[in-house]
Homo-oligomer: A and B are copies of this chain.
Amino acid sequence: MTGDDRFGCNRHVTLPGPLRLDGGMLLSPVEIAYETYGTLDADGGNAILVCHALTGDQHVASEHPRTGKPGWWTRLIGPGKPIDPARDFVICSNVIGSCMGSSGPASVNPATGRPWGMAFPVITIRDMVRAQGMLLDHLGVARLKAVVGGSMGGMQALSWAATFPERIAAAVVIASTARHSAQNIAFHEVGRQAIMADPKWQGGDYYGGEPPAAGLAVARMAAHITYLSEAGLTEKFGRRLQARPGKEDGTKSFGFDADFQVESYLRHQGLAFVDRFDANSYLYITRALDYFDLAEEHGGLLANAFRDAPTRFCLVSFDTDWLYPTSESRAIVQALNAAGAPVSFVELSSPYGHDAFLLDAPEMNRVVDGFLKGGR
């Protein structure tokens, strides 16, 4: 594939579409930012699609061009890792609705020549998956060895198995769920209201001006709490106070500065996020997550989503994940069993809550490695 500029890091393609969305609208063109690693086998049998989470991006195993940070899942993908570009052809694309180069509210609306803003159509997880399907066509990948994802990435893997069963041999679904719960929706709604309450949001029409950074930071702070476990927060911060000039041991200010380290950490998380993410994209992707209910798309019975699917499944949950707890994975396993689909499932122990899938998790690596090798 040398010289084929469809492959490599920092790729971008504008596909004519149209992509028919679950909401009924036709999206055209469909822009997709993506990366590939490794080389597609002649028989096309080594392609693995990796799907990112809410605020993730396509730079799964390469340095982020703007922040200079390493790829977000180099613990799982890289030389000697369970997904290895020396063996596997790896694809990761930015989901539509996002803001890292794929079509989203910050993209140009061809009808107006200006950013879509809130005129961008509401999209679903399945729409993201359909756009990925178009990208695979563009890349000449007929069938995937596996779709792998954590959190929202796991939802995409599930949706792949349900939407394109003939194109996917295996799905790895980590720290995920087949539907957003009332509590999941509630947390997202707090975030959306925080953004929309920011006067700078301007109904989503802030491009070219100042973004609703304060609202987005609050949204991120609220969400971030759900990514960590109570025990993890206690271990990492407890009630420890923030050192200050002249007060290195930390004392209460009897004011509203960030006295506690956990306050300072959260504020930092909020502020750092607004530099790298678009507030409208946050609205659209949280909406897609809240709309996600794979059973509902299949007559109310989750097993129907996987009926007669030729896909093997691997599910991993973490015992301290309270965003998408083990019970959600277990419900998926039961549906897969009912559908007669082969599934392996393990709950791993970790102090880190939902974030565990992005952190050092040797057991997770072993499970994924064994599962992917088992399919050869």
Q: Pick the most buried of A186, A236, A259: most chain B CB atoms within 10 A of its CB.
A: A186
Q: What's the Cα separation between A263 and B259 when bound, in Å?
A: 32
Inter-chain contacts of A263 with B (CB < 8 A): 185-186, 189
Contact B24 A182 (CB under 8 A): no
Beta-carbon contact of A218 and B193 below 8 Å: yes
Interface SS majority for chain A: helix
Interface segment, A74-82, A166-174, A285-293? A285-293
Tell me if A262 is interfacial: C-beta within 8 Å of chain B: yes
Pair A237/B182 contact, Cβ less than 8 Å: yes
Interface-located stretch among A37-45, A49-57, A249-257, A368-376: A249-257
Chain B residues within an 8 Å CB radius of A260: 182, 185, 189, 290
Out of B118, B198, B225, B255, name the residue touching A122 (CB < 8 Å): B255
Decide if A145 is an interface residue (CB 8 Å cutoff). no
Decide yes or no whether A234 CB sits under 8 A from chain B.
yes
Give which listed residue, B24, B183, B190, B233, contacts A254 with CB less than 8 A: B24
Given A23-B254, A121-B254, A287-B256: A239 and B185 interface contact (C-beta under 8 Å): yes
CB-defined A-B contacts under 8 Å, sample of 23? A22-B254, A122-B254, A122-B256, A180-B239, A182-B234, A182-B236, A182-B237, A183-B225, A185-B239, A185-B260, A186-B233, A189-B258, A189-B263, A190-B225, A192-B256, A193-B270, A194-B194, A194-B197, A197-B215, A197-B218, A222-B222, A239-B296, A260-B290
Question: Nearest 6 CB-CB pairs, A to B?
Answer: A23-B254, A197-B214, A182-B233, A122-B254, A182-B262, A182-B237
